[in-house]
Chain A
Amino acid sequence: MNVFVILGRFFLDFIEEIGGMALLFWRVVQQGHRVFRNARNTLVQMETIGIGSIPLVLVTSVFVGAVASVQAAYQFQGYVPLRFLGAVVGKSVTLEVGPVLTALVVGGRVSAAIAAELGTMKVTEQIDAMEMIAIDPVEYLVLPRIAAATVMLPLLTVFADFLAILGGMVVAKLAVGVSFNTFESGLRLLFKYQDLVGGLMKTFVFGYIIAFMGCYNGFMTKGGAEGVGVATMRAVVQSCLLILVSNYLLALLIFRVIFAPD
């Protein structure tokens, strides 16, 4: 096959994908005010997305905080006094590690689950059946998931930030030999509330991305079991990539514009 044909088709597929996402995005915006009509669905989703992710977030953040502590101490050797350990762990956790890692692990779990569920509904014609009984799938399925993820991800991140710092603190004492008091005063020394708030602001967007990409890929599912597999994979890949890219853009916006250094 001609190389231009392949490139052209790839380009067309890409445009179609962007178009599809834009259409769904527009319908979500248009119908956003109906989110409270399905409050029960939203609460159920908050439980599966939020409460259900707690064990995963717990393990991830404790160990990430622990390793941050060990690695920072290793790099400090001979250059930086260890009383700054708490400051470094606290900064890195609240600014980047907490929000981004929470988004990535929750994104893997949640966008896959959403895509697989909606994808199965799509291939078994349950979405069509919903349309036929005059229930809008965007209102009934998409809005509750997006609302739930957008609310729950920041909460999970607060939880993750706290646990990661705690993990770092415990490891600092056990493995590095920095007392809780020293660690804590380091933490206080350079702490700015903007770090925490800025980090959390990002997670609203990440939560939206996670649910949106899961829903979009679920709705686009074609074929049978294989199609559901493909949709699930794409949902995870796309949400992770979008989280990483938007993280950069949001960092520019939040820390260069909103909380711009004087």
Chain B
Amino acid sequence: MEAWIFFKRTVRMVFVGTKAYYLWCAFLLAIIGAAITFYTKQLDAGLIVTNMRDQVSWGLYIGNFTYLVGVAAAAVLLVIPAYIYHFDPIKEIVVLGELLAASAIIMALMFVLADLGRPDRFWHIIPFIGILSFPNSLLAWDVIVLNGYLVLNTIVPIYILIKTYFGKEPTKNFVIPLVLLSIPWAVGIHTVTAFLYNGLAARPFWNASILAPRFLASAFCSGPAMALIIFQVLRKTAGMKIKNEALFKVAELMAYAMFINLFLLGAELFKEYYTATIHLAPMQYLFQGLHGHHALVPWIWSAMAMNITAFLIFLIPGTRKNLITLNIGSLLIIVGVWIEKGLGLIVPGFIPDPLGEIYEYLPNINEIAISLGIWAFGLFIFTLFMRIAIPIQRGDFVHSKYGKAAVKRQYERIKP
């Protein structure tokens, strides 16, 4: 009964908000609606409506998938200090970090679904109902670890929020083991996703053992960068409690992660360019162009410039502890890593193809529209999560026994 009332109140909660909240939701829903029409077209005509072909058989969808798995994995960067080192200022953002991870996983899974030629046969991949080729296929591993991670990152924050709503302390014996489990699991999802590409001897660009470490390092840049921006937006719009000190701490960790990322990239570039075997070709295609084809060259150099600039911003305490430069750095990382791990990772894997053909790929309007739709859907889910989570955490949305139980349009801001 209490649970039912709680549920009803949360549903009512997401329908109430400020003008900005309504506008934001309407904006996202409009993008989702447009994307659905593009996806219907893709379902109807087949994947021919994309720019993918036999030579480059994965593109923007799988690039976004890889990036978002990284964002999801990076939730641990927020969890580790909060639970292990009892760093209190970060503690309050853990729930939100985990909900961000859950939203990112939902988006990642939707990108796989968008890329799937036969979504009508989706049941073939469900264990026990269909046939999941475990342990042979790394894609089967990914299905398992991603869904497990989604469950984990949904259970923990929802449990904590419900407990808080009913004015109780979360049971440590329940939460701590799950949180500790989520740390190696986060490393796991991104490692498995890296192995998905890494395990293909046919594609020398991916068949490098440095791939999984690089994945983790770049994830620990892009995920927290996204969190930094989102938390500041929520602080302004939803009155979320978060101190600058916590933001700066996360930024410092990001500087280390970006250093490792750049170092690993350098190690890879050295090996490929110094030995200069025929396996250099994809790298050459990406950074210099190959046989007159250089669609990705401006992209990757922009990404390099963004990542290095962001690294310097986050390294120098003066710029790291200034919200304006911090935000510039975060945006640079979000875009820079997206290019590096999206198109910059997936496409050169296919160029040149195993028989030496070069087919240049850049996504077309259908792929871009569907991808934007999935991003909008993820942000929409996350917005709804936040609409509930923040008032609960602030103590504004609690059981009537424990406080004033009003569904308010907006809560007063708290000075950072």
Whether A associates with B in a native complex is no
